[in-house]
A and B are shown apart, each in its own frame.
Chain A
C-alpha cells in the first residue's frame, strides 16, 4: 500500500502543475505529460549518461523543464488565456512536437536510469525501498516548497490573487503577464520534477507522459480544478481507490472505476472537493 502511495504522491505533483496552470490560464494543457517526459530525459542524460549526482540532476530537471515551460508560455500560451478550444489544439500540437522530438533525439526504446539509492528500510511492519522512500520525501518536500512559495512570498500571493480574480488583482497593481509566465513555468517544472523522480523507478521513453497526464486529469477533477489542495487530496484519493480496486478487480476494471469517479464527481459536484464554485 505504501508503494501505491508513493506513486500517487508523484502523480499529484503532475496534477498540481496542471491545476496551477488551469487556475491562471483557464486552459487544459494536454502537453503537460510531455514536460513530465522531458524531466525524465534530463535526469537520464544527467544521471545515467553524464554521471552527475542524482539530486543535482533532479534539480537540473526542474530548472530545464521550467525554462522550456517559460518559453512555451511566452511564445504560445500567453495568447490563449481563456480560449479552451484553441488551447486544446495548440497543446496537442505541442504534445506531438515534443514527443516526436524526443523520439528523433533519443530513439523509441526505453532507456533505463540506474537506481540512485539501494537498500530497504523497515518502518515497524512496513517495508519500503530506500529509493521509493527518497521519492516520497522529495515529493513531500516539493509540495511543501510550493506551499511556502504561494503562502509567504509576494509573487506567490500575487499568483493566488490572479487565480481567484484576475481583474481584481490587476486593479491591485499585480503584473498579470509576469505572474502568468512564472505560474506556467512552475507548473511545467512540477511535472518535470515528477518525471525526474520516477525515472530511476520506471525508465524513460518518449511516450511515458501519456499515462500520468490522464491520472492527473482525474485527480484534479476529483479535487477541484484550479485548487491546489484539491490536487493533492484528489491524488491520494485516486491512489487509494486504485490500490484497493486492484486487489479485487482486473486492471481494466480499475481504469473504468477511475473514469466513473470522474463522471460521478462532474455530475454531482462539478467543482470537485475543493474547487471554487
Chain B
C-alpha cells in the first residue's frame, strides 16, 4: 500500500511542477531577453541565458519610463486614498446605520463594480474635457476615485458586517454619535481592512490602461502602463527594451504582492463572494 501512495504523490508533484514551469516560463524569458543585447536576442533562443549580461536595455527602458512612473504614483496614491476613505465611510454606514433606501443604494453601488468601462467612456471623456481636466492628474484621480467607490465600499461593508453590533450599541451608550463611534471604535479595528483594500485598489489603479489612454496624452501626465504600450510601438523590434520595460512597470505591484500578498488575496476573495 505504501508503494501505491508514493506513485500517486510523485505524479502529484510532477503535475504541480509542470504547472509551475508553465507559470514561470513567461517571466523567465522576459528576464533573459531583457538582459541580452539586440544581436543576441535575434540569434539565440530565449530559453538560453544571456552570454554576457547587457544592461543597456534597462537603461533605455528606464529613461523612457522614469517620468511615467512618477506620473502613475502622482495619481494612484491620491485616488487610492480617496476611494478607500470613502469606501470605509460608506461601508460603515451601510453596515451599521441602515436607513430607508440604503440597501437599494448599496445594490446600485454593487452594480457599479461590474460596469464595463466602455459603456461610460464617451460621457466620461465629455465630463473630463468640459471640466478642463483633460490631460491632467486630476482627470485620473477623479475617475479612479469615482469608479473605485463601489468595490471599496463592498470590501469595507463585508468587513464591518463582522464587527458585532454590540460594540456599536456600547458606543452609543457612552454618548458617541456617528462620527464618534467611527473614530473611536470602527477605525481602530479597520487596520486589516484598510491594508487589504488599499493594496487591492492601488493595484487596480496602477494597472489601468484604458483611462490613461483616453484621458491623457502628454509625457508629463501619461501613466506607466500607457508609456509601456508606447514603448512597444516605438521600439517595435527591440524586444530586450520591451521586456525590460515590462519588468520595470510590473515591479511595484509584484513587490506589493510578494511582501503583502496575504492582504491582496483577502481582497480578491472578499470582492468575489458577496457578503
**B is a partner of A:** no
Q: Which chain A residues have a beta carbon within 8 Å of chain B's beta carbons?
A: none
